[in-house]
């Protein structure tokens, strides 16, 4: 019996999505490489969705691009497991003398809890033990 390979889940962070919508070459190339892969799932956290929706420029072209992108993404919720993980991460960071923005903490905890690779260039995420990261 042949086992099917496990899908890789990429969780797209807010800055990545903004760079993608702006046509930033590295973001576009990364997304083009994974968006149609049979073994990749692209997702955003519910916190990322909030960040994008609240800060979305009133540029009709970007609004349309984001709406099209959003239909292709799974949204990972911030629930009880994610809150517990965020708490553990924050305690560990404080013990090492670090802090992290609450939104980044929630995004990192959500990606980690859902075993997703977080796509970001934000170095703050490097402080979260066990979080899988992919720079673009």
Q: What tens digit of pLDDT does each residue of 58-109 get? A: 677 787 888 888 888 999 999 999 999 999 999 999 999 999 999 999 999 9
Banded model confidence at residue 5, pLDDT cuts 50, 70, 90: low
Helix (H) or strand (E) holding 11, with range, is strand 8-12
> Per the CATH hierarchy, to which homologous superfamily does domain 8-130 belong?
5'-nuclease (3.40.50.1010)
For the chain, give the mean pLDDT. 89
Residue 128 DSSP class? S
Task: Write down the domain spans for the chain.
Answer: 8-130
Banded model confidence at residue 3, pLDDT cuts 50, 70, 90: very low
Query: Virtual CA dihedral for 66, 67, 73, 79, nearest 10 degrees?
Result: 90
Q: What percent of the chain shows pLDDT beyond 70?
A: 93
Burial class (CB in 10 A: 0-12, 13-18, 19+), 105: buried
Q: Which residue has the tokens 């993980």?
A: 85
């Amino acid at each position: 019996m042949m086992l099917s390979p496990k899908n890789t889940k990429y969780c797209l962070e807010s800055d990545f999505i903004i760079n993608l919508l702006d046509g930033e070459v590295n973001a576009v190339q990364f997304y083009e490489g994974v968006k149609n892969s049979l073994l990749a799932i692209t997702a955003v956290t519910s916190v990322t969705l909030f960040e994008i929706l609240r800060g979305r420029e009133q540029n009709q072209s970007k609004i349309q691009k984001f709406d099209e992108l959003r239909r292709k993404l799974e949204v990972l919720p911030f629930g009880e497991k994610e809150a517990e993980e965020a708490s553990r991460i924050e305690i560990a960071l404080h013990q090492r003398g670090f802090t992290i923005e609450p939104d980044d903490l929630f995004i990192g905890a959500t990606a980690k809890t859902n075993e997703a690779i977080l796509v970001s260039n934000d170095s703050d995420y490097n402080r979260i033990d066990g979080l899988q990261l992919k720079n673009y």
